[in-house]
Amino acid sequence: IAWKGSPQFTQGGKAFKVKGRIQADAGFVSVPGGLDDRGLGFSSEMRRLRLGGEGSLARNLSYKLEFELSDNAVDLVDTFITYRNGPWQVQIGNQNAFWSLDELTGDTSGSVMERAAFTDAFNFERRLGLGMQYGKGPWIAQLGVFTDDPSSLANSSDGVNGGDENNSYSVDGRLVFAPRLGEIQLHLAGSAHWRRLGRLAEASTRYRQRPYAHGTNTRLIGTPAMNVEDETMYGAEMAAISGRWWGAAEYYHLAADRVGLPTVGFQGAYGEVGYFLTEGDSRGYKGGIFTTNAPAHPLDKDGPGSIQVALRYDWLDLNDRDIRGGTQNGYIAALVWSPIQYLRFNVNYALMRYNGAAALPSGERSYDANVVGTRFELDF
Amino acid sequence: IAWKGSPQFTQGGKAFKVKGRIQADAGFVSVPGGLDDRGLGFSSEMRRLRLGGEGSLARNLSYKLEFELSDNAVDLVDTFITYRNGPWQVQIGNQNAFWSLDELTGDTSGSVMERAAFTDAFNFERRLGLGMQYGKGPWIAQLGVFTDDPSSLANSSDGVNGGDENNSYSVDGRLVFAPRLGEIQLHLAGSAHWRRLGRLAEASTRYRQRPYAHGTNTRLIGTPAMNVEDETMYGAEMAAISGRWWGAAEYYHLAADRVGLPTVGFQGAYGEVGYFLTEGDSRGYKGGIFTTNAPAHPLDKDGPGSIQVALRYDWLDLNDRDIRGGTQNGYIAALVWSPIQYLRFNVNYALMRYNGAAALPSGERSYDANVVGTRFELDF
Amino acid sequence: IAWKGSPQFTQGGKAFKVKGRIQADAGFVSVPGGLDDRGLGFSSEMRRLRLGGEGSLARNLSYKLEFELSDNAVDLVDTFITYRNGPWQVQIGNQNAFWSLDELTGDTSGSVMERAAFTDAFNFERRLGLGMQYGKGPWIAQLGVFTDDPSSLANSSDGVNGGDENNSYSVDGRLVFAPRLGEIQLHLAGSAHWRRLGRLAEASTRYRQRPYAHGTNTRLIGTPAMNVEDETMYGAEMAAISGRWWGAAEYYHLAADRVGLPTVGFQGAYGEVGYFLTEGDSRGYKGGIFTTNAPAHPLDKDGPGSIQVALRYDWLDLNDRDIRGGTQNGYIAALVWSPIQYLRFNVNYALMRYNGAAALPSGERSYDANVVGTRFELDF
């Protein structure tokens, strides 16, 4: 019996552990002068609530099943079976489609409260499918085919949103090169994604983003609804960890093929640098993503826990050709205190600078929003 | 490994336990003569279904996460993290806002199947917030700030019911004095609550109550929809346990400040006396609320289990000024058989006497309803 | 600590185990020539997702609580408490109402991916109620009273679908004779069901069925909506297991008493024969239903796992008197590979022959559909 927030039972190659997660947020988004939107200002919410289990049926055969209660609906998060054989891994079920480093890194392992603006704007999500992985030395190659997220597939309505009429699919790949150079863990990666929306081309597709905080449903920038038949995405990733320091940067480009209209391209990127104020602490890294290390001096051993600070610049550009979705430049400062493993407190400040955003009464489309976010999160 | 319905694993200061609850009801509400309401009569339902976990990350840091399936939706019940240090306790998350003794006592520890009429009528519920507690000797002082329940906060609709437009908050406090006088456990307490509804003042607020049984959705008494901007509540609590006997009584007053109209006040109260027919059994008490003791002679050790009977008078008055919500006087007799710890069977009878209730075809607003309720409940 | 996909903890007569299930499907239903239905063709979905627990409070007192996420809603599956005393068993809660062998056999113990057409068409489901069972030697007698499924009972709408207006109930019985004749396990059974729909007689009742695959919401055959006040059903069951071979056959008849119209009768049946390609494997049988045996030579012990093949003929007739719901003759071939206990892969092919089905543009109502289904399923 090991202990990872909750007990992990093992017997031969078999294993089992109950999993859960609580994230509670309170935050504030300043209302840009004169904008009449009551969805801004103060908000609080349970950000993510998860319950599930993970285990192994045999030494090379593991599973995960996790429900999430968020936005008053129960959805599926990681829910799959994994088969490992030497350098090969095959995973069937609901899983991330080899997106960007920021999306793949767990939400309780992040450096800032909300992921890069392009990850939501480009609709990254878990999808039902088959993913394969080959890992050798510093290399990891990932390739998969996916349909759609389980809640879309289970939608029982008739028409374009009906789950049984959904015949979208995608092919997604990612290549990671992560050498260890002395004390430095390096991460270089690229990913490519192609999706045929099929029947969904008759539904409307939007690319848009909240002003950093999830507590508001307001989107100050976003494209109009479009009929998209294909999406092609490319991403480039770069990161490094050296002792208490780390840095990360990514760039993503999405090309949306519209039905009967020219293709439009949108893009986003972020760059981040971070540092642990507490000695002996550092960000973890494993399997091509950031992970969380236990605090070197946790509170229950009379230490301060771990304290990390990060600065991030986050950019999103939803303008191309006839589409004027607007642009967003975010400047984010983040503090994370983890008094003990599996428990973290976040305080974030973000200055969001908009161009071509939702118009103020004056007609002005370029303005700033100030965002303060706080979160406690617990994993077991 | 201890056993509390399901195994509780401990390792140093760490602990974990899966939690669940099943409550199934069948009951009958007699239709007052001539009232054409098909929601009365016989009903059966799964009253509460819960699944979750609780544990500790360290000796003074514990958590709880519990989902409830009821009324065909999944909601959150107790879901928080608790930090204890000497006499101090801080709790963040979804929790009860220091309501009345009857509301705070667990639903599988109650003496009757449904709580006092005022607890539903005044909309007691768990809310997202921060609660603090200080306990010393017979004293417990509790104080907290809360926003709203997680499902309201997560409502994604626009307008007054939108979760991101919800800026309500409350300050709630409770003071308990619970001395032990020889064989007698005494409980004296008072609580005070102030809530600013903010944006919700534009939504409609109603105070109403079912005819005791939860299986029906009919409310025979209730106020019309009102625009309330502030709520102020006071409650007084009194209880005593002496061997196989116990008694409890509470009074609650709610003042609702209406937008542009005079404040109205509503009130409720109950008094109860109970007795265990089985030797060696008694009601439990801990931390300012009733708890459940294991039967002294359980069925699996050839005993009868524990059998308790209780009589309760329950009063609710929703009349004030221009508001004629009606009044309800309930006379409740309850039998609870617990053959073994964590399993209980309830049989309740209630005579509900109404004044100013929903009108019969004859125009009569004063009449009686007879209610029979049965429940089995299991906790693990 | 035993291990059944996940650890089962025991302490004296007490026991506990977390339970979960993942079933993911991908399939294809050929569109009958010219039929304009986009719900056919390819589909993928998470078929069943379950999370819960089961255990014992004492040696003769056990419980089960299981939530299911399917079709984007959380429902209750097996959720009850069971008391055993010698040959007697009493079960209260949400449970199967002693339906047919095919329905009662667990969905990860079946020989084909979807159950016999009549089980869905006649609306078999779990219901809240009280079931009793007496078992002695080769005999099992089962009898119960049930109301409705918990989600119908909890429906908070007013009107015919309102849970509190639902006063339907049924009496259901089943008698099993299952002697062991040398190497042969025989199963002979009959069941009878009577249901009074009460208030639901004013709602509409339909009997219909998908073209084998669950991924589509299209029903090619089905009755129109009817006002049914009583349902009477009879079923006959027959099965045998002999080493690697097994066979099963059932017949079910439903008589629906319509309000103010003559009673109509519908019927279905299936016959199946199956064989394990792998030595030492056989279908399990216990308590009047098929169960799953662990593979004799599992993959983690360098074996092939178990491989079973089955052929099934499945018939459904929804024609009687003025009702022309159509008929369906299904010819199903199934392959199940279980590399290791609690994990199975299914591949099914079905030829569905229709008469009196949804009309093609040509007006033709007799045609074929070809169905291919694949599933992986994992239990813990």
pLDDT at A98 over 90: yes
Report the phi/psi class of residue B303: left, alpha or beta, with left for phi > 0 and alpha for psi in -120 to 50. beta
Choose among A18, A61, A156: nearest Cβ to C343.
Answer: A61
**Spatial contact of C170 and C97, defined as CB atoms under 8 Å apart:** yes
Given CB atoms, is C201 within the 8 Å cutoff of chain B?
no
- Across the interface, do B156 and A71 touch by the CB < 8 Å criterion? yes
Confidence of residue C71 (pLDDT cuts 50, 70, 90): confident
Mutation pick from C40, C65, C69 vs chain A, by most beta carbons of A within 10 Å, is C69
pLDDT digits (tens, 9 = 90+) for C260-270: 999 999 999 99
Helix (H, G, I), strand (E, B) or coil at C174: strand
Q: Residue C222 and residue C207: Cα distance in Å, rounded?
A: 6
Rounded mean pLDDT of C172-185? 97
Closest-CA distance of chain B to residue C247, Å: 38
Phi, psi of A107 (to 5 degrees): -75, -10
Question: Hey, what are C95's tokens?
Answer: 């449970």
Helix (H, G, I), strand (E, B) or coil at A57: strand
Strand, helix or coil at C341? Answer: coil
B9 CB neighbours in chain A (<8 A) are: 1, 7
* Residue A322 identity: D
Cβ of residue B69 closer than 8 Å to a chain A Cβ:
no
Q: Which of B57, B80, B328, B129 is nearest to B210 (CA)?
A: B328
In 3D space, the residue among B254, B229, B249 whose CA is nearest the CA of residue B325 turns out to be: B254
Task: Pick the closest to residue C33 from C311, C292, C358, C314 (CA basis).
Answer: C358
Per-residue tokens: C312: 């099934």
CA distance C193 to C190: 10
CB-neighbour burial class of residue B86 (10 A; exposed 0-12, middle 13-18, buried 19+): exposed
Quick one: average pLDDT of A233-249? 98
What is d(CA B6, CA C265) in angstroms, rounded to the nearest whole number? 48
Q: What is the pLDDT of residue A374?
A: 98
Helix (H) or strand (E) segment spanning residue B120: helix B117-121
| Residue B55 pLDDT > 80 | yes
Out of C21, C45, C340, the one facing A150 most closely (by C-beta) is C45
Subunit contact A61:C300, Cβ cutoff 8 A: yes
Locus of tokens 């390819």: C42
The DSSP call for residue B223 is P
- Tens of pLDDT, residue by residue over A255-297, are 999 999 999 999 999 999 999 999 999 999 999 999 999 999 9
Q: Does A18 touch chain B (CB under 8 A)?
A: yes
Q: Is A155 on the interface with C (CB under 8 A)?
A: yes
The reply to whether B62 touches chain A by the CB within 8 Å rule is no
Tokens 């959904």 locate to A166
**CB C95 within 8 Å of CB C127:** yes
Put simply, the answer to whether B46 touches C79 (Cβ < 8 Å) is yes
> What angle is formed at CA A213 by the lines to CA A209 and CA A218, rounded to 5 degrees?
50
Pairing assessment for the beta strands A79-85 and A61-70 based on DSSP bridges: antiparallel
Q: What is the pLDDT of residue C37?
A: 85
Look at B26 and C147 and tell me if their CB atoms are within 8 Å: yes
Q: What is the CA radius of gyration of chain C?
A: 21
CB-based contact B272:B336 (threshold 8 Å) = no
Domains of chain B: 2-379 (2.40.160.10)
Note the pLDDT tens digit of each residue in B158-202.
899 999 999 999 999 999 999 999 999 999 999 999 999 999 999
Please report which confidence band the pLDDT of residue C140 belongs to, taking 50, 70 and 90 as the band edges.
Answer: very high
For A77, the closest chain C residue by CA position comes to C49
Enumerate the β-bridge partners of residue C140: C135, C176
pLDDT in tens, B269-322: 999 999 999 999 999 999 999 999 999 999 999 999 999 999 999 999 999 999
pLDDT for the residue A30: 92
How far apart (Å, rounded) are the C-alpha atoms in residues C235 and C251? 6
Q: How confident is the model at residue A36, as a pLDDT?
A: 77
Residue A70 and residue A47 in contact, taking contact as beta carbons nearer than 8 Å = yes
- Please report, rounded to a whole number, the percentage of residues in chain A having pLDDT higher than 90: 93
Is the pLDDT confidence value at C235 over 90? yes
Q: Using one digit for the tens of pLDDT, what is the confidence trace for C313-348? A: 999 999 999 999 999 999 999 999 999 999 999 999
A162 with C217: CB under 8 angstroms? yes
Q: Mind telling me how many Å the CA of C351 is from chain A's nearest CA?
A: 20
- How far apart are alpha carbons A186 and A246 in whole angstroms? 10
- Please count the other Cβ atoms lying within 10 Å of the Cβ belonging to residue B104: 23
Lowest mean pLDDT among A120-134, A314-328, B355-369: B355-369
DSSP helix, strand, coil percent of chain A (3-state; round to 5): 5, 60, 35
Residue B210 vs residues B18, B120, B221: alpha-carbon distances, Å: 33, 9, 8
The answer to whether the beta carbons of residues A52 and A74 sit under 8 Å apart is no
User: C246-302, pLDDT tens digit by residue?
Assistant: 999 999 999 999 999 999 999 999 999 999 999 999 999 999 999 999 999 999 999
CA–CA separation, A142 vs A319, rounded Å? Answer: 31
Q: And the tokens for C158?
A: 């007013």
Query: Touching check for B149 and chain C: CB below 8 Å?
Result: no
* pLDDT at residue C188 tops 80: yes
List the single best residue of C9, C19, C37, C38 to mutate versus A (max A Cβ within 10 A): C38
DSSP assignment letter at A293: P
pLDDT at residue A71 in the model: 82
- Over the stretch B79-138, which tens digit does the pLDDT of each residue have? 999 999 999 999 999 999 999 999 999 999 999 999 999 999 999 999 999 999 999 999
Question: Pairing mode, if any, of strands A323-340 and A306-320?
Answer: antiparallel
User: Which of C79, C160, C164 has the highest number of chain B CBs within 10 A, making it the mutation to test binding with B?
Assistant: C164
* Confidence at C32, pLDDT banded by 50, 70, 90: confident
Q: Which two tokens stand for residue A302?
A: 């009379």
Q: Residue C120 — very low, low, confident or very high, per pLDDT cuts 50/70/90?
A: very high
- Residue B299 Cα to chain centre, angstroms: 29
Chain A: residue whose CA lies nearest to C301: A58
Mean pLDDT value across residues C352-371: 94
- How far is the C-alpha of A318 from the C-alpha of A324, rounded, in Å? 7
Given a cut of 90, is residue B36 above it in pLDDT?
no
Select the residue from A78, A164, A196 to test the C interface by mutation, using most C Cβ atoms within 10 A: A164
A167–chain C Cβ distance below 8 A for any pair = yes
Torsional sign, CA A50, A53, A59, A61: negative
Q: Give the sign of the dihedral formed by CA B46, CA B21, CA C83, CA B291.
A: negative
- Rounded CA separation C305/C292 (Å): 13
Phi-psi region at C19: left, alpha or beta (left = phi > 0; alpha = psi -120 to 50): beta
The CA distances from residue B311 to B111, B120, B170, B270, B305, in Å, are 9, 20, 34, 10, 20
Question: Given pLDDT bands bounded at 50, 70 and 90, which one contains residue A1?
Answer: confident
Q: How far apart are CA B22 and CA C80, in angstroms?
A: 8
- Residue A102's nearest CA partner among A310, A282, A277 is A310
Residue of A nearest to B13 (CA): A300
Residues A275/A280/A286/A291 CA torsion (nearest 10 deg): -60
Distances (CA, A) of A135 to A183, A239, C134: 22, 19, 57
Residue C124 pLDDT level (bands cut at 50, 70, 90): very high
Count of pairs with CB atoms under 8 A, one residue in B, one in C: 118
Q: What is the ipTM of this complex?
A: 0.93
Question: Which burial class, exposed, middle or buried, applies to C249 when counting CB atoms under 10 A from its CB (0-12, 13-18, 19+)?
Answer: middle
Provide mean pLDDT across the span B327-344: 97
HSE value, Cβ hemisphere, 13 Å, CA-based, for A171 = 1
* Helix, strand or coil, per DSSP, at residue B119: helix
Nearest to A97 by CA among A132, A121, A58: A132
3-state SS assignment for residue A366 = coil
Going by pLDDT thresholds of 50, 70 and 90, the confidence category of residue C201 is: very high
Percent of chain B past pLDDT 90, that is, above it, reads 93
Concatenating the DSSP letter of every residue in B165-218 gives G---EEEEEEEEE--EETTEEEEEEEEEEEEE-GGGGGS-B--EE-SS-SS---
H or E stretch including A291?
A: strand A289-291
**CB contacts, 8 Å: A373 with chain B:** none
Quickly list DSSP for A173-197: EEEEE--EETTEEEEEEEEEEEEE-
- Of B356, C270, B164, which is closest to residue A213 (Cα–Cα)? B164
